[in-house]
Structure 1
Amino acid sequence: MRQLLAFALFGIVLMLPELQQRWHSPPANQALSEHRLAALHREVDSARIQDNQRGTVLIHGSGAPLTEAMVQQAVAKRSEQESSYISVWNWQGLESVTASARGLDKLHHFANSYLVGFQPFETKSLWVPLYTLAIRKEYQYDHLQYAGLADIWQTSRQAYYQKRGDCEDHAILLADWLINLGVDARVALGTHEGQGHAWVVAIVNDTEYLLEATSKRRQSSWQAMPLAALVEGYEVEFQFNRDYFWAKTTSAPTRRYRGSHWIRKSQFIRG
């Protein structure tokens, strides 16, 4: 997810106009073979996925919900390669109401649904999840792990058991685990030094911390975590947790993850 951010506008039937944000640029002229797609299936089998990601999105300002079936029907009209991109959706004239991404099961699911309420083990120390990620999970670009596919998301459970993953896989596991510890934690989507990226913002005692989930530094204290207001190079556009999806209301950069420059666009209802 550390490649240049590009945008493509698609007209979709089902009254579902879509703004698709390409957080990756795929390798040129790289075709998918049956053998490569079979490797993706093996990843699913190895993780023994049981999590229910089905759900409906209730959009603020609209009386009509957006269902996963609608999203999957629209995505099915794309090629295998195109459907691997993260998508940010418009709905009934409302912009950027939610996002979806392709999972290990090859289907698009709402971003919130990847936070499945998983924690590997209990802990009272807030730094333990970040420390665990540093020693357990290797960083690897999706197009290298998934045969040229630009962006494949792992749920928090999958992210713990899969040995490798990229930035959103790290961020999803970290945010979900922190939420279980009672922290207001969110996955942030945007850019880092101009390249598409995902990270975590954690709000503790009314203070915002920016957590680089892919960092392999083994911090042993929450006091060592950086204040979001002081961290340079990160440009956030969207945030989500298990329940809500936020979009920034201005094009101006910000290091604050709360305030009037943010609007809560939608609520995810699981089931």
Structure 2
Amino acid sequence: MYKWIVPLLIFSVLLTLPEILRNTIQEPELKPSSKQPLNSASRAYGSTNADTIDRQNGVVRVVGTSYPLSEETIQQVVAKRSLEESAQVAIWNWQGLEAVTATARGLDKQHHFANSYLVGFKPFQTRELWVPLYTLAMQKEYQYDHLQYAGLSDIWQTSRQAYYQKRGDCEDHAILLADWLIELGVDARVALGTHKGQGHAWVVAILDGQEYLLEATSKRRQTSWQAMPLAALAEGYEVEFQFNRHFFWAKRNSASTRKYRGSHWIKKSQFIRS
């Protein structure tokens, strides 16, 4: 589990940085990110068996604002931080609006929007919706980021990288599971919050009007979709944000909820991949 959300003050280091940046850039222009491919994981912290280097570049269009938030702007701000600070997940303000999106440092050592880590990957086709969760339980080993990445607190893997990397923590498991389910036609989202007071990421899947909470880090060998708990019955989970490939949601207030849809959620932004 990563520690970006407990205490929430850990976010405050980067939370106001976009505001600071705007003091020097009065009218930020939309500058599309470079078309050059990203470095592969084998050139950063680890290696994968994937030949594909997925594009993560893009911009975020924030609801209620005039200018998109570009990845170039993100990189300018994060570049001013120390290595340890840049390895923290950041929640961003933009043009007077709070918590419009999140970014995290990837295996290429760059910050990318949370949505971009869902790259449209499925290891193989299946008709059984329990198979992705079972595959994660069998194949991927849980390991804290600081133990895997020389003390750095949060390094995210894309869904493809998460499949080929043997080890990963909660957000790596959740990103792979959510993306795989999306490829199978399920409305799946990565949820960010806490579990029993500790920072955590998990998956919510919406199927036939029901919300299921899927614990991507579970290593139990469950083989039935029906065995997955309804989100309304899952105890100990406190969600703050959620995202899929395209959208980022934040709660309207700090009230606890077990519902992942409704008026208490605000769709903050849309990610557009370059």
Same fold (TM over 0.5): yes
Amino acid at match of 2:21: L
1:5 aligns with 2:7: yes
Cα displacement (A) at 1:14: 2.6
CA distance in structure 1 between the aligned counterparts of 2:82 and 2:45, rounded to whole angstroms? 21
Superposition TM-score, scaled by structure 1 size:
0.89
SS in 1 for 2:46: helix
Greater alpha carbon shift after TM alignment, 83-92 vs 8-17: 8-17
Matched with 1:30 is none
CA distance in structure 1 between the aligned counterparts of 2:106 and 2:85, rounded to whole angstroms? 14
CA distance in structure 2 between the aligned counterparts of 1:55 and 1:225, rounded to whole angstroms? 34
Which consecutive residues of structure 2, in runs of 5 or more, have no partner in the other structure?
25-40
The two structures, once aligned, show a CA RMSD in angstroms of 1.9
Q: Is the 8 A contact 2:42 2:48 kept in 1?
A: no
Q: Is the 8 A contact 2:45 2:107 kept in 1?
A: no
Cα separation, partners in 2 of 1:16 and 1:136, compared to 1, 3 Å: farther
Which consecutive residues of structure 1, in runs of 5 or more, have no partner in the other structure?
18-37
Cα displacement (A) at 1:15: 1.3
1:15 aligns with 2:22: yes
Amino acid at match of 1:227: L
Matched with 2:36 is none
Match among 165, 169, 183 for residue 166 of structure 1: 169
What pairs with 1:206-221 in structure 2 (closer than 5 Å)? 206-221=209-224
Q: Is the 8 A contact 2:62 2:268 kept in 1?
A: yes
Matched with 1:84 is 87
Q: Is the 8 A contact 1:39 1:146 kept in 2?
A: no
CA distance in structure 1 between the aligned counterparts of 2:42 and 2:174, rounded to whole angstroms? 24
Matched with 2:141 is 138
Q: Is the 8 A contact 2:204 2:211 kept in 1?
A: yes
Cα separation, partners in 2 of 1:77 and 1:142, compared to 1, 3 Å: same
Greater alpha carbon shift after TM alignment, 40-49 vs 183-192: 40-49
% identity of equivalent residues: 71
Cα separation, partners in 2 of 1:39 and 1:148, compared to 1, 3 Å: farther
Q: Is the 8 A contact 1:40 1:146 kept in 2?
A: no
Matched with 2:112 is 109
CA distance in structure 2 between the aligned counterparts of 1:72 and 1:39, rounded to whole angstroms? 22
